[in-house]
């Protein structure tokens, strides 16, 4: 089943998203920003990112995101993936998160093999963070600077404006950079998707969807006397000591953002909100479990575990919970607008992820 879509950035300026949707466009990729040589996105964040995410989602489009890369190492690419995930956390994606690798000036001095390792590092990190990864490039760049056999296990979004695809089997084809779409002033990239990504992804952009059953929100409940740790990724060696020396206190509850399934180490991994940032935990039957809480109980649980800290941290944690579960918490809170929640949460996540990245790379 073919679907029509566009990809947008600051270069499209103000977009009338309802008109875009009415024109027959079914999906949109929004640029998060560009990642620098060392992987940081903050300086390169697209000024229209949040506005375009909100607009496209509110218009009912299937939405994905992409990061334009200048990353020169695998570690930089992983950092870019983590920072992108932090910025995307408030939004429900039904299309992939793409690594835009097309800057020949950056990659011509690096070998095909190393360039492919850089791409794979971003894509693997995105997958580990629970999102559906995709590589974006164009035909001549792929032929000159990438080992496409090594990257054949990833979905491919290919730009080729010659009326056909120079690499067969691409999952999305960007066939024009000079399209016209009602609601967009000027030119815009046009795409055809050959996969039904919303059906594959399941409604949240995560590889493993979080559960919301019978009005209950899913939490990781920590109990017992054994040490329950939090991690920067689904890796038992990646203890996140930036939060409480890596320990989740017994008797606390943490909002479940994604069930990442069983890892190569045999543990079941989940992504949870801890201290206002997304961290990982291994579900071990003798110290933690997944449980459901009503909206009211959820707010009280977050408030209770923040009671020993300052008001700012409690407010951040409650705000994160509200943003992630806005529909269920509407009855329990008179919070800020969804747009303000999303932007505030993204900013808070980014700061914490940058700190975690610095600790990991240090």
Summarize pLDDT for 138-194 with one digit per residue, the tens. Answer: 999 999 999 999 999 999 999 999 999 999 999 999 999 999 999 999 999 999 999
- Would you say 63 and 52 are in contact if contact means Cβ atoms under 8 Å apart? no
State residue 128's pLDDT score: 83
Query: What is the overall mean pLDDT for the chain?
Result: 83
Three-state DSSP class for residue 286: coil
> Residue 336 phi/psi, 5° resolution?
-65, 175
Q: Say which residues have a Cβ less than 8 Å from residue 174's Cβ, sequence separation at least 6.
A: 7, 136, 157, 158, 159, 160, 161, 189, 190, 191
Mean pLDDT of 106-135: 94
Task: Name the segment(s) of the chain with CATH classification 2.30.30.40.
Answer: 212-361
With 60 as the cut, is the pLDDT of residue 201 above it? yes
State the average pLDDT over residues 57-75: 97
pLDDT-based confidence at 295, cuts 50/70/90?
low
- Confidence band (pLDDT; 50, 70, 90) for 335? very low
For the ranges 30-34, 201-205, 210-214, 215-219, the lowest mean pLDDT is seen at 210-214
Average pLDDT over residues 321-326: 51
Query: In this model, does residue 331 exceed pLDDT 50?
Result: no
Backbone angles phi, psi at 27, to 5 degrees: -145, 160
pLDDT tens sequence across 237-248: 999 999 999 999
Residue 87 and residue 351 in contact, taking contact as beta carbons nearer than 8 Å? no
Chain-centre distance of CA 319, in angstroms? 19
pLDDT surpassing 60 at residue 94: yes
Give the residue with greater pLDDT, 128 vs 167. Answer: 167
Six-digit token string for 189:
């990239």
For 95-114, the pLDDT digits (tens) are 999 999 999 999 999 999 99
Q: What value, to the nearest 5°, has the Cα angle with vertex 147 and ends 144 and 153?
A: 140
Query: How far apart (Å, rounded) are the C-alpha atoms in residues 321 and 323?
Result: 5
**Structure confidence at residue 213 (pLDDT):** 40
Is the pLDDT reported for residue 316 higher than 90? no
Q: How far apart are the first and last CA of the chain?
A: 47
- CATH number belonging to the domain at 3-201, selected among 3.40.50.10140, 3.40.640.10, 3.20.20.80, 1.10.3720.10: 3.20.20.80
* pLDDT for position 311: 47
Q: Choose between 192 and 321: higher pLDDT.
A: 192
Residues of the chain with CATH 3.20.20.80: 3-201
- The model's pTM is 0.61
Higher pLDDT, 273 or 121: 121
Quickly list DSSP for 235-248: -TT-B-TTTGGGEE
The predicted structure's pLDDT at residue 305: 58
Torsion on CA atoms 138, 141, 145, 150, rounded to nearest 10 = 20
> What's the confidence (pLDDT) of residue 318?
53
Alpha-carbon span 234 to 265, nearest angstrom: 9
What integer is the mean pLDDT of 284-297?
79
**Which secondary structure element, helix H or strand E, spans residue 31, and what is its range?**
strand 27-35
Cβ atoms of residues 190 and 24 within 8 Å: no
Give the pLDDT score at 313.
47
Helix/strand/coil percent split, the chain, to 5 = 35, 30, 40
Residue 319 has pLDDT above 60, yes or no: no
Residue 320: Cβ within 10 Å count: 26
The CATH number fitting domain 212-361, selected from 2.60.120.10, 2.30.30.40, 1.10.1760.20, 3.40.50.1220: 2.30.30.40
For the chain, give the percent of residues with pLDDT over 90.
Answer: 57
């Amino acid at each position: 089943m073919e679907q029509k879509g566009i990809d947008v950035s600051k270069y499209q300026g103000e977009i009338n998203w309802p008109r875009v949707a009415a024109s027959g466009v079914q999906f949109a990729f929004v640029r998060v920003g560009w990642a620098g040589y060392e992987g940081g996105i903050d300086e390169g964040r697209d000024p229209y990112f949040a506005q375009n995410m909100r607009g496209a989602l509110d218009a009912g489009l299937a939405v994905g995101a992409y990061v334009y890369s200048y990353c020169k190492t695998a570690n930089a690419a992983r950092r870019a993936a983590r920072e992108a995930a932090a910025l995307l956390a408030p939004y429900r994606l039904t299309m992939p998160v793409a690594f835009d690798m097309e800057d020949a000036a950056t990659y011509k001095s690096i070998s095909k093999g190393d360039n492919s390792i850089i791409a794979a590092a971003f894509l693997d990190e995105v997958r580990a963070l629970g999102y559906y990864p995709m590589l974006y490039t164009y035909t001549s760049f792929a032929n000159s600077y990438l080992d496409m056999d090594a990257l054949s296990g990833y979905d491919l979004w290919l730009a080729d404006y010659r009326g056909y695809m120079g690499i067969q089997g691409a999952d999305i084809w960007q066939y024009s950079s000079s399209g016209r779409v009602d609601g967009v002033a000027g030119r815009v990239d046009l795409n055809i998707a050959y996969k039904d990504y919303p059906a594959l992804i399941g409604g949240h952009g995560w590889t493993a969807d979080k559960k919301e059953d019978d009005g209950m929100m899913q939490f990781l409940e920590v109990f017992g006397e054994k040490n329950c740790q939090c991690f920067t990724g689904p890796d038992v060696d990646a203890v996140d000591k930036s939060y409480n020396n890596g320990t989740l206190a017994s008797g606390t509850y943490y909002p479940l953002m994604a069930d990442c399934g069983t890892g190569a180490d045999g543990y079941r991994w989940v992504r949870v909100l801890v201290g206002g940032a997304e961290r990982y935990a291994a579900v071990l039957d003798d110290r933690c479990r997944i449980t459901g809480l009503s909206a009211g109980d959820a707010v009280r649980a977050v408030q209770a575990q923040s009671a020993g800290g300052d008001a700012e941290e409690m407010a951040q944690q409650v705000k994160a919970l509200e943003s992630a579960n806005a529909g269920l918490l509407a009855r329990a809170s008179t919070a800020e607008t969804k747009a303000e929640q999303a932007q505030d949460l993204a900013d808070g996540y980014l700061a914490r992820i940058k700190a975690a990245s610095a600790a990991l790379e240090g």
